[in-house]
Structure 1
């Protein structure tokens, strides 16, 4: 059983809906999962020896949603090395905005966590709203693989 923090970046609620289903699935698989909709650095650092899952939509020109931006900025500014942290990223976007912007928020978080020496448990999942109208159709199979990697 792992302790997993699920940190959400959402504007219109799509990422939040996915995150709620993810937390239910993690809990059903015996893990202790906590959802953070207005995530703070102190909450994030409570998981530095555990597992975090970032679930974020992408806004505008590939930016992070306002509710998760302060966490990203705090991690980037304080730059705490997290060699014992394991993580996963589910990034939601729309490929019609162009390759550089597509899933930009999740890509930024993934890159930052790697710079902080955290270890990914699975390849980042990029969900294209142009292809997958129901994000859970691709999230749940990915989550199944992610759960197998959680120790």
Structure 2
């Protein structure tokens, strides 16, 4: 299966989780594309069959700057070819921010609904106030995600 991993990161943690996810999903036998600076045209040319989005949250629950433009382009275009595809979201944040905890991930989940992408399992919420190893903390969730892709 062709899996695209999109990522939005401020300080690099989400990027590290995305790179780790890329190696795990590839080791499971899938074709994986992860480029934090991917364009919409490159994304469409890859013709993804599944989506994983790994994003941190900034400010008052917004997506990181490096993911904003692509997110907006996808939202404006709403590619019909992606309807019905499986997807998953890993959100990084800090629970001490209350209602905006993992707000970036929640925005991606809303976009999945608009696109018709099926979330195959609940979003993983990684709390920066509780973990210093988000990459390894994501592994059990990623194992389950891969099972859904293989089903």
CA contact (8 A) 2:2 2:48 kept: no
With over 3 angstroms needed to count, the CA separation of the structure-2 counterparts of 1:50 and 1:25, relative to structure 1, is same
Runs ≥4 residues deviating over 6 A: none
How many Å apart are 1:127 and its aligned residue?
0.8
With over 3 angstroms needed to count, the CA separation of the structure-2 counterparts of 1:76 and 1:115, relative to structure 1, is same
- Which TM-score applies when normalising by structure 1? 0.91
- Which TM-score applies when normalising by structure 2? 0.91
Q: What secondary structure is seen at the aligned counterpart in 2 of 1:142? A: helix
How many Å apart are 1:48 and its aligned residue?
5.6
Structure 2 unaligned segments of length 5 or more: list them: none
Q: Deviations over 1:51-97 (max 9, x none)?
A: 01100111111111111111111122223333232111000000111
Structure 1 equivalent of residue 105 of structure 2: 106
CA distance in 1, matches of 2:38, 2:103: 19
Structure 2 equivalent of residue 12 of structure 1: 11
Q: What secondary structure is seen at the aligned counterpart in 2 of 1:147? A: helix
Q: What secondary structure is seen at the aligned counterpart in 2 of 1:98? A: helix
CA distance in 2, matches of 1:47, 1:118: 17
Q: CA RMSD in A?
A: 1.5
